[in-house]
Chains A and B, each alone.
Chain A
Amino acid sequence: MAEPFKVWQCSNCGFLYYEAKGLPEEGIPPGTRWADVPEGFECPLCGFAKRDFEMVEV
């Protein structure tokens, strides 16, 4: 069985990235795993980098 989708959170502003939903408006399709999000990704709310995100339980 595939890994369940996870949720990642920006540690500066609290923005939530849902792997299941992706971020289509930023060109990241639904179902994109965090590992596959481009390294240059920036938080859409505050501009912090991908490395500033943490996995969370929501």
Chain B
Amino acid sequence: MIIPTEVAQSVADPKAYADDKRAHDAFTWLRKNMPLGRAELDLFDPFWVVSKHADILEIERQNELFHNGDRASVLTPKEADRKVREMMGGSPHLVRSLVQMDNPDHMKYRRLTQAWFLPQNIKKLENRIREIARSFIDRMEDKGGACDFARDIAFLYPLHVIMEILGVPEVDEPMMLKLTQELFGSADPELNRNKKAVDDVAANVNAVAATVAEFIAYFNKMTADRRANPRDDVASVIANGEIDGKPLGELEAMSYYIIVATAGHDTTSNTTAGGMWALAESPSEFAKLKANAELIPLYLEESIRWVTPVKHFMRTATADATVRGQKIAKGDWMMLSYPSGNRDEEVFEEPFKFKVDRSPNKHIAFGYGAHVCLGQHLGRMEMRILWEELLPRLKSVELNGKPRWMEANFVCGPKTVPIRYTMH
């Protein structure tokens, strides 16, 4: 059950995701020939690649048998892992946020901000988010019929929303975007901190650690401020929150800000950019959506499935287990491949077709189980509002150059989506 090297490399290589087809071809091969195979590559400790939708659900629902935090929670080269453990006193994590935690801590930390992100709470933000969405659509109109939809709109709108929710002032948004892109784009020579190809794993860990340190310096100041002057924002919840009657641990608090300030916009941005790309490429799908605004919710789900901005998370078996008849040993490392699950031929009809009216659409782009995305209601709401406002004003759209994907195997989406359009 050892995956052929070339296929395994395409699963791990950030460049394969930038090519998109190369990563998907590898997963299609795996689903057909080796749905739960083992990747043995020189650069990495061995890991299982979970490529089937049903297996991802089965593993995610058993969050005591398959832990997030026992080993690195994203795919990390051996040498980088060694370096991180050296820096972090033996821990495989540079930060300790919800995605690195298991119970009992995970549930306690998740409960802290959960109420904030529930549908009934974010409803109060609807009008404000609509104002923000409109201002970005005005900006599109001002651009006079051509823009890079990724950089000019899609990256900035969810950024603005989440920074308001978190409590970061607008002047700091460009810096937050840059730091986010340095983290998620750490393998991408155009986005990473050193702005060059990653040829030295240790230097790359140092660069990522420097980005994290910059975030921490910023959020440390914010904690002090919100302790002195609490406001109605998520930063105040983190700064003044208690776990078992005590303030959050220092690393845990900093990591909490970081996950909200990064996962809280980049994923939604990627989906928005990829959703526009798909429409610009397919006049008939655009026409269908244009003719029936009631399809917006289905179109959004299809965009999320189509882009699947989170490419994987890792799990570690806490005991011997069996999945799809395959023995998994205690301590084994497993990659849950969301893009693969979201193209599973057993779940989706014509999975490689973008259909604005796909239904049912049981995609797993937000994960499943105890760690299922905390921000999914917010992400959906932001995208719904944007399209409710944009669709009536957008008359036509087409590509105006070649879109490109980011090079990353963890969180990734389009880096640029040049479009030409007319507006009503």
Contact = CB atoms under 8 A, between A and B. Distances in A.
Interface in B114-153: 114, 117-120
Contacts of A45: 366, 368, 372, 376
Interface string A28-58: 0000000000000000111100000000111
Interface in B355-371: 360, 362, 366, 368-370
B106 to A, nearest CB: 11
A12 B372 contact: yes
B118 to A, nearest CB: 4
B65 interface: no
A37 B120 CA distance: 23
Given A14-B114, A25-B360, A47 B60 contact: yes
A25 B366 CA distance: 20
B369 A56 contact: no
A9 B360 contact: no
A42 to B, nearest CB: 8
Nearest to A57: B120
Interface in B318-369: 360, 362, 366, 368-369
A47 B119 contact: no
Nearest to A14: B118
Q: Give the dominant DSSP class at B's interface.
A: helix
B195 interface: no
B377 A47 contact: no
Contacts of B118: 9, 14
Interface string A13-33: 110100000000100000000
A10 to B, nearest CB: 9
B57 interface: yes
Contact of A16 (B119, B360, B368, B376): B119
B61 interface: yes
Interface string B46-75: 000000000001001100000000000000
A22 to B, nearest CB: 15
A12 B368 CA distance: 10
A25 B360 CA distance: 8
A13 B372 contact: yes
Nearest to A56: B120
A58 B120 contact: yes
A44 to B, nearest CB: 8
Nearest to A9: B118
Contacts of A16: 119
Contacts of A14: 114, 117-119, 376-377
A9 B114 CA distance: 13
A51 to B, nearest CB: 15
A26 to B, nearest CB: 10
A32 to B, nearest CB: 19
Contacts of B377: 14
Contacts of A13: 372-373, 376
Given A14-B117, A47-B368, 14 more contacts: A9-B118, A12-B372, A13-B373, A13-B376, A14-B377, A45-B366, A45-B372, A45-B376, A46-B368, A46-B372, A47-B57, A47-B61, A47-B369, A58-B119
- Give 7 nearest A-B pairs by CB, closest first: A46-B372, A14-B118, A47-B61, A13-B372, A58-B120, A47-B368, A47-B369
20 contacts: A12-B370, A14-B114, A14-B117, A14-B118, A14-B376, A14-B377, A16-B119, A25-B360, A44-B362, A45-B366, A45-B368, A45-B376, A46-B369, A46-B370, A46-B372, A47-B57, A47-B368, A56-B120, A57-B120, A58-B119
